[in-house]
Structure 1
Amino acid sequence: MKHIDLNIFQATHRSVLPQKGRILIAEPFLQGPYFARSIILLTEHGPEGSVGFVINKSTDVYPDEVIEDLFNFRGELFIGGPVSSNTLHFLHTLGDLVPGSIQITPTIYWGGDFEHIKKLINDGKADSKAVRFFAGYSGWSPGQLESEIAEKSWIVTSLDDYQIMRADSSSIWQESLEGLGDVYKTWSNFPSNPAFN
């Protein structure tokens, strides 16, 4: 009888390296309130370390409840990560309309003039499809993210800009794993609490 190795806990090694604009998908066994089943967009990666935002953890608070003089914004406030959780950040698809913003992907930008983004929203020129707000961010010191990837805590991949800005935060983790195929499909159905299996 032929022996078949079907170890679902040892996925095929992926050679995608972290870089600005790439996505980190938490493996299903990673625990904690910030990173369990999280999807992170890397906005910075280099010798100085890495920065990113969890795009699939929303709060019960709305941006116009915490941002002074922001009116009628019908989007969610997301938990960007555990670092400086009392600070606000934003991603957007408004490009050069927001002075000082940094391009991350072909259509997604990070930050820029905060007063200007508020004015665009209040004037009806930007909405939750174009802007996402985050409390805090995710950060790694030099070499830390590479170590976590080597330990298989994260899968590095890409998503299209539409998915990043408009995906349903409750299903994007599972859908992203399923999109990778192979053993990752099995991971996507793994219970969040193995005792419930």
Structure 2
Amino acid sequence: MLYADRLFNAMERVEPAPGMLLVAAPGMMSVEFARSVILIIEHSEAMTLGVNLTARSELAVYNVMPDWLPAVAKPQALYIGGPLNQQSVVGLAQTKIGVDMDETPQLNRLANRLAHVDLRSDPHEIAELVDGMRLFAGYAEWAPRQLEDEIQHGEWFVAPALPADVIAPASQDLWGDVLRRQAMPLPLFATFPADLYDN
């Protein structure tokens, strides 16, 4: 633990912002967020809101929002965005090359080719604009200064998102892959086992 603390204290910290990722630190005590990768959608002095990219449910999009199937990437399952308000759904997408989000009101730009989708839009119109999208039931939310305190205590790493993170295939270890592409020392954590008894 002392070694991990030294690594964490040696890191250059990145500020949270929309379009950035919160990567759960190895050994996070919260079972709900262990090995999670949260995409930040909103961040202000009042609150932070994001969705977990890694929690796939067993519920097919076809069974709950079939009109969106043409736009949704495989696996076409509903993902669990977080513990709050799971009756609401958040749409995130990787846009096609050349799509100008400033000229496309249905898409709220989070980063290059990474968009928050207005689900009041026509699904078929969105399908023409994106390489794929995911639907997330619920979200995670932090009160003022709560996230900054958790980052300071070493519970989260902040990292840039890639558009493909949103539509990562089910077989991909997104948590490990995000850590591996960061500057040292974060790649050293990428092989941390999901269960310490497996080590």
So what's the TM-score if we normalise by structure 2?
0.80
Distance in 1 (CA, whole Å) between partners of 2:79 and 2:103 is 23
Q: Which of 52, 59, 62 is the aligned partner of 2:60? A: 62
Letter in 1 for 2:55: K
- 1:79 corresponding residue in structure 2: 80
Change (3 A) 1:78 1:38: same
The secondary structure found in structure 2 opposite 1:168 is coil
Q: Which of 115, 125, 128 is the aligned partner of 1:125? A: 128
Matched, 1:116 2:122: yes
Distance in 2 (CA, whole Å) between partners of 1:155 and 1:45 is 16
More off after superposition, 181-190 vs 73-82: 181-190
Q: Which has the higher strand share?
A: 2
Distance in 1 (CA, whole Å) between partners of 2:185 and 2:40 is 24
Q: Which of 124, 140, 163 is the aligned partner of 1:161? A: 163
Q: Which of 26, 29, 36 is the aligned partner of 2:27? A: 29
Contact 1:19-1:42 within 8 A present in 2 as well:
yes
Matched, 1:8 2:11: no
Change (3 A) 1:183 1:109: closer
Residue 56 (structure 1) shift: 1.7
Letter in 1 for 2:92: L
Per-residue Cα deviation, 1:144-167 (whole angstroms, up to 9, x for no partner): 1001100110001113223x2332
Aligned residues: 187
Distance in 1 (CA, whole Å) between partners of 2:89 and 2:107 is 15
- 1:3 corresponding residue in structure 2: none
Structure 2: segments with no counterpart, 5+ residues: 96-100
Which structure's CA Rg is the greater one?
1
- 2:187 corresponding residue in structure 1: 185
Percent of paired sites with the same residue:
25
- 2:198 corresponding residue in structure 1: 196
So what's the TM-score if we normalise by structure 1?
0.81
- Alignment RMSD: 2.5
